Structure 1
Amino acid sequence: MITFDNIDVTFDGFHALPGFNLTIKEGEFFTLLGPSGCGKSTALRTLAGFIQPAAGDVWIDGKRVTNLPSRRREIGMVFQNYALFPTMSVEDNIAFGLKVSGVARVESARRVAEIAAAVNLTTDQLAKGVAELSGGQQQRVAIARALVLRPKILLLDEPLSNLDAKLRHQLRIQLKELQEQFGITTVYVTHDQDEALTMSDRIAVMNHGRIEQVGTPAEVYNASATEFVCNFIGEVNRLTPGSLGALRSAGAALLDAEGESYVRIEKTRITVPGGHGPAAAAGVGGHGPAAAAGRAVLPGVVRSKQYHGVYSSYKVEAAGGLFKGIIQEHGHPGFGLGDAVEVAIDSSDVLQYAGAGL
């Protein structure tokens, strides 16, 4: 559906996208994820036709569109600040693109009413000025304005970043439902890992204008291809030489003693000595220290605890480092500061980089 073919974008000699290659499938919700300045918005705007690449080609449906004006690419775009017209009504904002395209007034009114209903905007809201709407409602107006033109592709550039956390969560669900309802190919830009993991069919993790990994949310999280991806997505514990040595002694000889090694915090099991207790009862901890070859069990001491409601997160000093783990609450008291515990790590959960021989 969409192909970036060896795209090179430069700004005053700076290579924002050096040799950028990517293919996005028809009908999928695809996310460009990465920190600020990594090139994700540049890639989106190149696809939209707002940026002309210095080299390479952009293809849509097998057609080369590199030099095609933005208005002829059949693309709808929602910006971070929505870019609505403050002096116009909601209805006129949605209808603006139809008016510019010369769509008849009767047909325009029908399509505006249809798309407004699809994004849960009422007749009363259509008559209001956009300044009278909440941030979430304005976001729906921006989406309606893009979708009313019936584009082949919908581009969303950090559309939820200006909203509060609760509203962002609600609108994530609505956005995904709308995308599935319309079956439209959607390219979404965000720096928010949680948004990317919960909404996407596939994700491209970007860093310094280059793609570090493309995969499903589960692939980029559980099988992070690079050390950058491992550290950028989710939370991890970096294994100390002592903990890595314990794993190798426990039968995980294939682990590279020189590699940078990590394990995600939810796979770091915290139990009372012997492998029983709150963590085990909560389904986080174990089956005992000798349950499997390749499992290291490290004696430790609880150094901090943070209560999150559904779960608590702990930092445990063990093997010369601090290990973070989480335990589901379920009403039990958990551990206290200074409690003696054990940290169990399975070699199968270890992610290794930089010369790891796996």
Structure 2
Amino acid sequence: MITYKNIDVVFDDFHALPGFNLTIEAGEFFTLLGPSGCGKSTALRTLAGFIDPTAGDVYVDGARVTHLPSQRRQIGMVFQNYALFPTMTVRENIAFGLKVSGVSKAETTRRVDEIANAVELDSVQLGKGVTELSGGQQQRVAIARALVLRPKILLLDEPLSNLDAKLRHQLRGQLKELQEQFGITTVYVTHDQDEALTMSTRIAVMNKGRIEQVGTPQEVYMRSATEFVCNFIGDVNRLAAGTVAALSAYPYGTRGTAPLNPASPSYVRVEKVGLHAPAGNAYDGGARLTLPGTVRSRQYHGVYSSYRVELDVRDGGVAKGIIQESGHPGFAPGDRVDVSIDPADVLQYPAANAQEPVQTLQEQTLQAPIPAGASR
């Protein structure tokens, strides 16, 4: 459906996209994810026709659109600030593109009413000025204005970033439902990993203009291809040297996978770590290594509590565990606990390409599973 082929984008002496290649399939909700300045918005705007690449080509449905004017690409776009006309009513904002395109008044009215109903804007709201609407309602107006033109592709450039956390969470689901309802190929730009994981069919994680990994949310989260992706996606823990050494010596450590290398940067996802009352046994069902430690602090978050645990193993670092409050007595500072890890769940990366630790040695953490009902 969409293909970037050897795209270069250069601004003066800054190489924003060096040799960018990517294919997005029809009907996907595809997310470009990465930190600020990684090139994700540049890639989106190149597809939209707002940026001319220095080299390479962009294809849509097999047709080369590299230098085609944006209005001829059958692409709808929703910007971060929505770019609505403050002097127009909601109806006029949604109808603007149809009016410019010469669509008849009767057809415009029909299509505006149809799309307004789809995004849950009622007749009263259609008659209001956009400044009278809430942030969430304005976002729906921007989406309706893009969809009413019946584009092949919908581009969304961080459309939720200006909303409060509660509304952002609510509108994620609505956006995804709309995309599925219309079956429209959608390219979404965000720096929010949670948005990417919950909404996407596939994700491209970007860093300094390059794609580090493309895959389903589960693939990039559970099988992060690079150390950058591992650190950027989700809650991850860099294991201290003593913990890695203990895991590499564990007799069940291979379990059909390559043995752990104590010298390699090593990480484990929060869901793969257990925090328990002491059992006095280093073997957890034959698959997990148990490391004893002492609770140093507790923070109460309502649904769950987080704990900092100093591990007994030499150079083992500090473990941070999260436990759901409901049905659990909890731990107090000074309590003895066990932290358990399956060596097969450890993600390792080449030592030669090691990045700086996410935390200092004193702050290195292991994190226990977040139970159902808890949030990160």
Tell me the TM-score normalised to structure 1 length.
Answer: 0.93
Letter in 2 for 1:195: E
Query: C-alpha separation between the residues in 1 aligned to 2:23 and 2:301?
Result: 39
- The alpha carbon displacement at 1:121 in A equals 0.2
Please name the residue that 2:269 is paired with.
264
Are 1:325 and 2:331 counterparts? no
Alpha-carbon shift at residue 326 of structure 1 (Å): 1.9
Residue 273 (structure 1) aligned with residue 282 (structure 2)? no
Other-structure match for 1:237: 237
Indicate if the aligned counterparts of 1:155 and 1:187 stay in contact, CA closer than 8 A: yes
Report the Cα distance in structure 2 between the residues aligned to 1:113 and 1:346, rounded to whole angstroms.
56
5 Å-filtered alignment, 1:199-278, equals: 199-251=199-251, 252=253, 254-274=259-279
The answer to whether the Cα contact below 8 Å between 1:237 and 1:324 also exists between their aligned partners in 2 is no
**Match of 2:72?**
72
Q: Give 1:323 shift.
A: 1.6
Partner amino acid, structure 1, of 2:83? A
Structure 1 partner of 2:302? 309
Q: Deviations over 1:263-291 (max 9, x none)?
A: 1122221112117xxxxxxxxxxxx6423
Q: Pick from 295, 298, 322: which aligns with 2:291?
A: 298
- Who is 2:86 aligned against? 86
Write the distance in 2 (CA, Å) between the matches of 1:236 and 1:300. 20
Query: Aligned letter for 2:333?
Result: L
Counterpart of 2:344 in structure 1: which amino acid?
S
Q: Write the letter of the residue equivalent to 1:70.
A: S
Look up the match of 1:36: 36
Alpha carbons 1:76, 1:146 under 8 Å: kept:
yes
Which sits farther off after the overlay, 332-341 or 93-102? 332-341
Deviations along 1:57-86, one digit per CA (max 9) or x if unpaired, are 000000000010000000000000000000
1:101 aligns with 2:101: yes
- Does structure 2 retain, via aligned residues, the 8 Å contact 1:33–1:203? yes
* Number of residue equivalences: 344
CA–CA separation in structure 2 for the residues paired with 1:94 and 1:229: 39
Q: Could you tell me how far apart the structure 2 residues matched to 1:77 and 1:116 are?
A: 17
The residue that corresponds to 2:184 in the other structure is: 184
2:6 aligns with 6
Secondary structure of the corresponding residue to residue 284 of structure 2 = coil
- Alignment deviations for residues 219-246 of structure 1 (CA, whole Å, 9 cap, x no partner): 1111111111111111122111111111
Which position in structure 2 is the counterpart of 1:334? 330
Measured against aligned partners, the alpha-carbon deviations of 1:305-356 in whole angstroms (never above 9, x if no partner) come to 2223332222211133112222222232211112111111110110001249
CA contact (8 A) 1:247 1:295 kept: no
Any idea what SS the aligned residue of 1:160 has? coil
Over the residues paired in the alignment, what is the CA RMSD in angstroms?
1.3
| Equivalent residues of 2:297, 2:333 under 8 A apart | yes
Give secondary structure in 2 for the equivalent of 1:338: coil
Report the equivalent of 1:349.
Answer: 345
* AA aligned opposite 2:127: A
Q: Is the 8 A contact 1:29 1:200 kept in 2?
A: yes
Gaps of 5+ in 1: 276-287
Give yes or no for contact 2:284–2:340 (8 Å, CA) kept in 1: no
Task: State how far apart, in whole Å, the 2-side matches of 1:36 and 1:59 are.
Answer: 26
How many angstroms apart in 2 are the aligned matches of 1:347 and 1:294? 8
Is the 1:260–1:353 Cα contact (8 Å) retained in structure 2?
yes
Report the AA paired with residue 274 of structure 1. Answer: A
The one-letter code matched in structure 1 to 2:275 is: I
Tell whether the 8 Å contact from 1:300 to 1:340 is kept in structure 2 after alignment: yes
Letter in 1 for 2:235: E
* Equivalent-residue separation in structure 2 for 1:273 and 1:89 (angstroms): 64
Q: Which has the larger displacement, 179-188 or 259-268? A: 259-268
SS of aligned partner of 1:188: strand
Q: 2 CA distance for matches of 1:7 and 1:354?
A: 29
Q: Residue in 2 aligned with 1:282?
A: none
Q: 1: distance between equivalents of 2:202 and 2:282?
A: 37
1:292 is displaced (CA, Å) by 4.6
Contact 2:204 2:211 in 1 (8 A): yes
State the SS of the aligned residue for 2:243.
Answer: helix
Structure 1 residue 294: deviation in Å? Answer: 5.6
CA distance in 1, matches of 2:288, 2:69: 58
Question: Mean alpha-carbon deviation: is it higher for 252-261 or for 128-137?
Answer: 252-261
The percentage of aligned residue pairs carrying the same residue is 74
